[in-house]
Amino acid sequence: MSETTVETVSLDDFEDARRRAIAALRDGGLVVVPTDTVYGVVADAFQPQATQRLFAAKGQSRDVPLPVVIRTPRQVNGLVEDVPEAAERLMAAYWPGPLTLVFRTSTGLTWDLGEDHGTVALRLPSDDLLLAVVADVGPLACTGANRRGEPAPSSVSEAAAQLGAAVALYVDGGPRAGQGSTIVDVTHDAAHVLRSGTIPDDHIRQVATGEVGWGQRPDEDPPPATPAAEDPPPGIPAAEGPPPGTPAAEDPPPGTPVAEG
């Protein structure tokens, strides 16, 4: 994998983009891809050297764990400890789509996603390229294609300006300026919205049924992993904010992950 060049492929040639992305990921490299929300950067979730490379490229602390992209809801059972009823309802309603769910991780998994406190943020995007790559490589660690604290890029050129040669391949899918995914903690029976996103909060409440909270759970010690997947572009408002007096989920406390693309 070259450390000095930036390689770009157009999504217009889907098969070429798929083939080259798979090759780069199998080699332990990073790939920038368009998603159904914003541009993301992905790595093979089960190659520790690749996920370490992802942290370094982002300038991201291990205290902000990486979310994981999967291809089908059936994969969830092999990755998590339990799937509460609220999670099943949300998965049925919004997967594939811009929803990230935080679960308790199944024991014995050989991945390194950072300081995840026994949790994992899973996302099943509505994106043909990502799903095709996951079908071949397996689950992918995925986060926003920007340096930590910098604006989310709306184009491949903006992503390359931030990540440069740390990325093996850039897939150009045209402008992407969507809002980040909604992040919901389902580590307990009641769903808890950690970050508002594309899906309106009242829709989450209606689908999950029962009690739904917002912001960091007050009883969490340590807090669950709130993914670092996509940092939404500045200026994009949260979808239908939570009830008055509810703490915001946009800036989780240290040790809480930030979630996908």
* 142-194 tens-digit pLDDT: 999 999 999 989 999 999 999 999 999 999 999 987 788 999 999 987 899 99
Asked if 220 and 104 count as a contact pair (C-beta separation under 8 A), the reply is: no
* 102-156 tens-digit pLDDT: 999 998 898 999 999 999 999 999 999 999 999 999 999 999 999 999 998 999 9
C-alpha of 246 from chain center? 24
* 61-91 tens-digit pLDDT: 999 999 999 999 999 999 999 999 999 999 9
pLDDT attached to residue 219: 56
- The radius of gyration of the chain's CA atoms, rounded to the nearest angstrom, is 17
Q: What is the mean pLDDT of the chain?
A: 85
Q: How far apart are CA 61 and CA 55, in angstroms?
A: 7
pLDDT attached to residue 261: 53
**pLDDT > 50? residue 92:** yes
Helix (H) or strand (E) holding 203: helix 201-208
Domain residue extents for the chain = 8-214
**Residue 120: closest CA among 8, 226, 252, 245:** 226
- Fold assignment, 8-214: DHBP synthase (3.90.870)
Mean pLDDT calculated for residue range 4-28: 94
Q: How far apart are CA 148 and CA 93, in angstroms?
A: 31
C-alpha of 166 from chain center? 19
* 29-67 tens-digit pLDDT: 999 999 998 899 999 999 999 999 999 999 999 999 999
Asked if 228 and 259 count as a contact pair (C-beta separation under 8 A), the reply is: yes
Name 203's Cβ contacts closer than 8 Å, sequence gap at least 6. Answer: none
Q: How far apart are CA 102 and CA 236, in angstroms?
A: 23
C-alpha of 16 from chain center? 24
Predicted TM-score of the model (pTM): 0.82
Exposed/middle/buried for residue 49 (C-beta within 10 Å: 0-12, 13-18, 19+): exposed
Angstrom distances, CA of residue 223 to CA of 127, 134, 141, 158, 195: 30, 28, 20, 32, 14
Q: How far apart are CA 206 and CA 144, in angstroms?
A: 29
pLDDT attached to residue 121: 97
